[in-house]
Amino acid sequence: MSFRDPIPSQPISGSEAIRVVNSRAGTRNASTEGYRDAAVRYRWSPEWLVAITLIADFSFIVVSIELSTLLSDLFARDAVGDLIGNLALGATFAAVFIGILALRGGYKLDTLRHSRHQVRLVAGAVCIAFFLMGWFAFLSKTTATFSRLDLTVFFVVNLIGLTTLHWSVSGLLNSKLAKGELSLRRAVVIADGRQRNGDDFQDLLRRNGIEVVELIEVSPSQFRRDDYSLVCRHALERAQGALSHAQVDGVFLFLGWNDRRAIDEMRVALSGLPVPVHLFADVETERVLRRRHLSVGGMHGYELQRAPLDLVDRTLKRVFDVAVSVAALLLLGPLMVLIACAIRVEGGGTVIFRQKRKGFGGRPFDIYKFRTMTCTEDGAVVTQATRNDPRVTRIGAVLRKTSADELPQFVNVLMGHMSVCGPRPHAIAHDNLYDRIIARYAFRHHVKPGITGWAQVNGYRGETRDTAKMEARVEHDIWYVNNWSIWLDVRILLRTFLSGWVSPDAY
């Protein structure tokens, strides 16, 4: 019976419960044996992996000092190498580097698997170790022992070599795990079939180095209160059977956290096993635990809603906005003058259209745009532009198609009303409408509105003919607010320029 097999909809008796678990056991045992024989080729313990990486680091550093001397000899042929001194320097540097990297968690299994994080940690450890060694040599007045060229080459070789080594280890480790050719732990898994999908669930465990020795499926809410203890005892028997036939590193529980009784009974039933038992969060709880948390007197609170940007974030965003806006106005200034002249020649009247919009915190401000219509609506009712709208002028059609009518908003950015990147501001009449029918619509006002945004670079531009389109745009805006970083703004700006300002939905 797989995780996708139907679960009885009615409570069943104790004898029926035992039969259900036994029937699951028969099919699962057969599949587990096949998995055990076909999927796992090697089993390395985490301790061995860490030890191998440590030895590789130490060996590379010791060898690199001699390599550095040979390389420097190519530039300074009169250089004289001291083998004993070089080995002593290499061993000392290796000890300092390994100590720093270990203190920063660089040899933990989860860290070893992340290539980019490894590169950052290793590069930082090399720089810190080199600085500490140099400071010690300065204090002990031994800086003249080694040439500056030797030390420079030694630093560069270690910086490049060690980062490449750890990058390669991460790639090899992830490749072996993905193919099921590497097992780091063996575990008995007891899971609620409603919480985890069978194939995807096992594949996730395999890719993280977990060899499933025995997979026991239970469904706590489907059994009567008195009968669930029988299910726990039978799960214990299967776990004991797995321990007697294979080396098992632990028991993993994947049960719903809303059923505390089921968890407690399973914990008590497994308390006699001589292996650790780990309880994993269910799907809903994981979503909360991934969020930022705050500790107060030993209590932990998890962030359900991100606050508006703090002082540092606002400063970074403001510097970015001012720099981009000044550059845009200087580069596009002549084009904006030509656009203003064209609007004036075509029909006279005002060149700049002003309309009330809501900014940060819902505070209203006047947004600036090049006038593209024969009317200037800004009241309780504002009609969206539609395809072939008769109100749009000939120059206005070109401006709206290319989004050039938005260029004056760089002035809004310099005035502090807007940001370069952020949720697009809507007419106040539309804000009032959608605020009543779309949940969390007002959350968009946690940051300043933008000239371009995450929703726009993902295709949500132009007219919103129905509520579903606006809901999709709002979801993207909320994601932007919750995941903001300065690099996200850079990414949005680059995508805006690379994808062009022309859109079939802009008219």
Residue 77 in this model has a pLDDT that exceeds 70: no
Joined together, the tokens standing for residue 2 give 């797989």
Q: Compute the radius of gyration of the chain from its Cα atoms.
A: 32
Residue 464 C-beta-side C-alpha neighbours within 13 Å: 21
pTM: 0.54
Residue 203 in this model has a pLDDT that exceeds 80: no
What average pLDDT does this structure show over 77-100? 75
Give the Cβ contact number of residue 75 at 10 Å: 9
Give the Cβ contact number of residue 163 at 10 Å: 19
Q: What pLDDT shows up at residue 113? A: 81
Whether 168 contacts 108, CB under 8 Å: no
Residue 82 — pLDDT band, cuts 50, 70, 90?
low
Residue 144 — pLDDT band, cuts 50, 70, 90?
low
Distance of CA 323 to the CA centre of its chain: 28
Residue 393 in this model has a pLDDT that exceeds 50: yes
| pLDDT tens sequence across 451-485 | 999 988 888 876 666 778 888 899 999 999 988 99
